[in-house]
C-alpha cells in the first residue's frame, strides 16, 4: 500500500510538471484566434465543392473553435443536439456579438447546462454545416443515446459514418486544426489543456493588477465547474506561487515578528446532556405515543458528591453505646439529648468524641447500632 501511494504521488507530480510546461502561451492563444487560415476555412464553407470529402476537416474546425471560445469539456460539444443549437440566443453584452447555446448532457450536468459560445463567423459556418454538410452523413444512428424511452434527439456533430462522436476522439481532431492555425504548438491540444491555460492566464492577469473583466466565479460557471476545482486542478501557476509565498512568510514574516506563546484556553462545556428515558415499545403502545409522554427540554440532574463513610474506633463505639444505653433502649434518638449525654460522660470526654464527630453523626451511629441489634 505504501509503495502504491508513493508511486501515485510521484506520478501526480510528473503530470503536474507536464501540464505546467504544456500550457498554451498568450501568443499561441492569439494566433489560434487570429490566424489568417480562418478566412480560408470560411471560404471553404461558402463554396463546398465536395461536401463529402470536406466534411471531416470543416467539422473539426467548428469543434476546435467552439472549445477555444468556450473552454468547455469535449462532452459538451459531442452531446450538443440540433434542438439545443436552434434554441440558442444572441448576446450583445460584450464587444463581440455571440450566439450562446446550452448543452444539457455533459459531465457535470448536476450544476446546470454547459454553455457554448459561437461568434458571428462560427455561427455562419455552423448554419452551413447543419444545412449542407450534416445531411450527407446523417442516418438512423445520428441521435443522442439514451437508456430511457424518450423522444430521440438528433445530434449536431457526427462522425463520417453518421454516428455520435466519442469525446475521447476529440483530442486528435482538434490537435490537427490547432497546429494548422499555429505550427509552433507542440503536443496534443486537449480540452483539459485549453481549460488549464484559460484558468492560469486568468489568474496571472489578476495577479498583475490588470482587470480581466471576469471574476473567478463567472469563469468557473462558464467552464461548468466550481472555483475549488479550478484552484485545485486548473490554476497551474498557483501551486508555485503558493510555495513562494510560504517561503516568504517563513523567511521574513516569522523571523521578524517574535511573540509569546499563549496557552490554549480550556474548553467550556456548551450545555448539559439531555436525559434519555428508555421505555419498552409494544404493539399496544407505539413509539409515537411514548414520545409524546417524554418531558420536553428535561435536563439531567446534577449528581451530588458521594458521602464519606465515617468509621468509629472500637473503643469509641463501646464508650458511646455505654453512655447512651438508656436512650436507645427507650427508642429515644433525640440528637440534642444524645449529644448532652455524651458530652457529660467521662469516657467519651477522654476519647474526645464530641470534638471528632458531629451531633447528627453520633445520633445516626447510636440508631444504627440499636437497630442492628434490635434493642428497641
Confidence band of 268 (pLDDT split at 50, 70, 90): very low
Q: Cell numbers 486544426 label which residue?
A: 177
| 282 vs 72, residue with greater confidence | 72
CA-to-CA separations, 30 to 27, 33, 60, 189, 312, in angstroms, rounded: 5, 5, 19, 15, 100
State residue 260 phi and psi, 5-degree precision.
Answer: -80, 140
- Ranges of H-type helices in 35-153: 37-47, 51-70, 74-78, 82-86, 120-128
Confidence band of 93 (pLDDT split at 50, 70, 90): confident
- Predicted confidence at residue 331, as pLDDT, reads 77
| 85 vs 222, residue with greater confidence | 85
Contacts of 204 (CB under 8 A, 6+ apart): 237
DSSP code at position 158: B
CA angle 238, 71, 156 (to 5 degrees): 160
H-helix or E-strand containing 179?
Answer: helix 170-181
338: cell is 444524645
Say if residues 347 and 309 touch (Cβ distance below 8 Å).
no
Residue 195: pLDDT over 60: yes
- Predicted confidence at residue 233, as pLDDT, reads 53
Say if residues 41 and 176 touch (Cβ distance below 8 Å).
no
| 181 vs 334, residue with greater confidence | 181
For residue 104, the number of C-alpha atoms closer than 13 Å in the C-beta half-sphere is 11
- Predicted confidence at residue 340, as pLDDT, reads 85
Q: What is the pTM of this model?
A: 0.58
CA angle 125, 154, 90 (to 5 degrees): 45
Q: Mean per-residue pLDDT for 295-308?
A: 57
pLDDT, one tens digit per residue, over 335-356 is 888 888 888 888 888 888 888 8
Contacts of 58 (CB under 8 A, 6+ apart): 41, 44, 45, 125, 129, 133
Rounded CA gap, 205 and 218, in Å? 15
CA-to-CA separations, 343 to 49, 205, 323, in angstroms, rounded: 131, 96, 10
Say if residues 102 and 115 touch (Cβ distance below 8 Å).
yes
Confidence band of 260 (pLDDT split at 50, 70, 90): very low
| 344 vs 275, residue with greater confidence | 344
Say if residues 128 and 46 touch (Cβ distance below 8 Å).
yes
pLDDT, one tens digit per residue, over 14-73 is 655 666 667 888 888 899 999 999 999 999 999 988 888 999 999 999 999 999 988 888
- Predicted confidence at residue 191, as pLDDT, reads 84
Rounded CA gap, 7 and 322, in Å? 88
- Of the segments 53-62, 206-215, 273-282, which one has the largest average pLDDT value? 53-62
Residue-averaged pLDDT of the chain? 77
Residue 234: pLDDT over 60: no
Question: pLDDT exceeding 70 applies to what percent of the chain?
Answer: 66
pLDDT, one tens digit per residue, over 134-150 is 999 999 999 987 766 67
Amino acid at each position: 500500500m505504501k509503495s502504491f501511494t508513493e508511486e501515485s504521488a510521484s506520478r501526480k507530480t510528473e503530470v503536474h510538471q507536464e501540464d505546467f510546461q504544456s500550457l498554451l502561451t498568450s501568443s499561441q492563444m492569439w494566433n489560434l484566434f487570429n490566424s489568417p487560415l480562418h478566412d480560408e476555412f470560411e471560404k471553404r464553407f461558402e463554396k463546398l465543392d465536395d461536401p463529402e470529402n470536406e466534411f471531416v476537416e470543416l467539422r473539426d474546425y467548428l469543434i476546435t473553435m467552439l472549445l477555444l471560445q468556450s473552454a468547455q469539456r469535449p462532452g459538451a460539444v459531442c452531446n450538443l443536439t440540433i434542438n439545443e443549437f436552434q434554441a440558442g440566443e444572441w448576446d450583445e453584452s460584450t464587444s463581440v456579438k455571440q450566439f450562446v447555446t446550452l448543452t444539457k448532457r455533459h459531465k457535470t450536468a448536476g450544476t446546470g447546462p454547459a454553455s457554448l459560445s459561437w461568434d458571428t463567423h462560427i455561427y455562419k459556418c455552423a448554419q452551413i454545416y447543419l444545412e449542407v454538410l450534416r445531411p450527407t452523413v446523417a442516418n438512423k444512428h445520428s441521435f443522442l443515446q439514451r437508456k430511457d424511452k424518450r423522444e430521440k434527439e438528433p445530434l449536431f456533430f457526427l462522425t463520417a459514418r453518421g454516428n455520435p462522436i466519442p469525446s475521447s476522439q476529440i483530442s486528435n481532431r482538434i490537435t490537427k486544426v490547432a497546429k494548422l492555425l499555429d505550427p509552433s504548438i507542440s503536443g496534443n491540444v486537449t480540452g483539459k489543456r485549453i481549460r488549464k491555460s484559460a484558468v492560469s492566464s486568468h489568474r496571472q492577469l489578476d495577479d498583475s493588477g490588470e482587470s480581466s473583466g471576469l471574476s473567478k466565479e463567472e469563469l468557473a460557471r462558464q467552464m461548468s465547474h466550481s472555483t475549488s476545482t479550478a484552484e485545485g486542478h486548473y490554476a497551474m501557476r498557483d501551486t508555485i506561487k503558493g510555495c513562494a509565498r510560504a517561503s516568504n512568510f517563513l523567511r521574513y514574516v516569522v523571523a521578524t515578528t517574535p511573540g509569546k506563546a499563549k496557552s490554549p484556553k480550556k474548553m467550556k462545556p456548551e450545555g448539559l446532556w439531555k436525559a434519555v428515558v428508555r421505555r419498552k415499545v409494544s404493539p399496544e403502545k407505539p413509539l409515537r405515543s411514548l414520545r409524546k409522554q417524554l418531558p420536553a427540554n428535561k435536563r439531567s440532574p446534577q449528581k451530588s458528591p458521594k458521602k464519606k463513610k465515617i468509621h468509629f474506633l472500637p473503643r469509641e463505639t463501646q464508650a458511646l453505646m455505654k453512655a447512651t444505653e438508656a436512650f436507645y433502649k427507650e427508642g429515644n434518638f433525640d440528637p440534642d439529648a444524645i449529644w448532652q449525654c455524651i458530652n457529660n460522660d467521662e469516657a467519651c470526654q477522654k476519647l474526645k468524641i464530641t470534638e471528632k464527630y458531629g451531633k447528627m453523626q453520633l445520633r445516626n451511629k447510636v440508631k444504627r447500632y440499636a437497630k442492628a441489634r434490635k434493642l428497641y
